[in-house]
Amino acid sequence: MGGEMSILRMIVQSSLVVQIVIGILLAASLMSWAIIFRKRLVVGRAQRDADRFENSFWSGGDLSSLYRAIESRGSATGMESIFEFGFREFARLRAQGGVAADMLLEGSRRAMRVAQLKEIERLEHSLATLATVGSTSPYVGLFGTVWGIMNAFSSLGNVQQATLAMVAPGISEALVTTAIGLFAAIPAVVAYNRYADQASRLELRYDAFMEELSTILQRYAGRGPAGASVGSSAPAAPSAGIRS
């Protein structure tokens, strides 16, 4: 308790510039922690949704029925969104008739790529802020420390005999900014590395799913338009089975 009070006392007694630096670092720390908790929810939900959708997708059901179920819920995210975009474009182009099989697949893949880019952008949102806080906070704290030490030594200019007891309080106040800078930087760096890695792993899962769905759609690209109609429940509609 005494240590906490002494730190607060040093912050209060420090110069205006040092107090501004400490305020910036504390604001950056609060912002980074808010991002950390929010990204934990977003990334965790994306992983659970991907697991759940893959189980549903590979259960061997009709893809048209799966599409209609996703569309009826609305606000699809993650792997569901990629499937919804790709299957809708595939069915739309196929219903037009006269579209070559490679064009069907290319249109579907473009739609899936757009959905994937939106999902990756959502997963990586605010990660740059964590990286900025993690990389700059130690230097901001160091600036406050250097400024505080300069003030501590400049105050000794008119003193005939300088002692350690005279300069120690000023240096201690200055070093607080370095500690606060590290307090802001370390969690931000750890969280950035963790969530960036998880976002990259999800991106690889999305890439693999796009390839698998493209393989399934390719089997039906040469059939008539009725088989892949979004609203059709015909036996010829695409279905997912055991992974090849």
Please spell the DSSP secondary structure of 117-163, one letter per residue: HHHHHHHHTTHHHHHHHHHHHHHHHHHHHHHHHHHHHHTTTT-SS--
In the prediction, which pLDDT does 166 show?
62
At residue 161, what are phi and psi to the nearest 5 degrees? -135, 110
The pLDDT score that the predictor gives to residue 60 is: 77
- Determine, yes or no, domain membership for 165: yes
Amino acid at 29: S
Task: Confirm whether 239 is domain-assigned.
Answer: no
Cα 25 to Cα 141: distance, rounded to the nearest angstrom? 7
Q: In this structure, is residue 244 part of a structural domain?
A: no
What pTM was estimated for this model as a whole? 0.80
Q: Cα–Cα distance between 193 and 195 in angstroms, integer?
A: 6
- β-sheet bridge partners, residue 43: none
Residue 5 has a pLDDT of: 45
Q: What is the pLDDT of residue 157?
A: 64
101-124 and 16-57 helices, crossing angle to 10°: 150
Identify whether 1 is part of a domain.
no
Domain boundaries, position 123 = 14-226
Q: Which residues pair with 53 in a beta bridge?
A: none
Q: What is the pLDDT along the chain (244 residues), one digit of tens a residue?
A: 455 547 677 777 777 888 899 899 999 999 999 999 999 999 999 999 999 999 988 887 788 888 888 888 877 888 999 999 999 999 888 888 777 888 888 999 999 999 999 999 999 999 999 999 999 999 999 998 888 888 777 766 666 665 656 666 677 777 888 989 999 999 999 999 999 999 999 999 999 999 999 988 888 776 655 444 444 333 345 556 545 4
The answer as to whether 233 is a domain residue is no
What is the tally of structural domains in the chain? 1
What is the DSSP secondary structure assignment for residue 58, as one 8-state letter? T
Contact 3/108 with Cβ under 8 angstroms? no
Asked if residue 235 is part of any domain, the answer here is no
Q: Is residue 2 part of a domain?
A: no
In a domain, 243, yes or no: no
The amino acid sitting at 126 is S
CA distance 59 to 53: 10
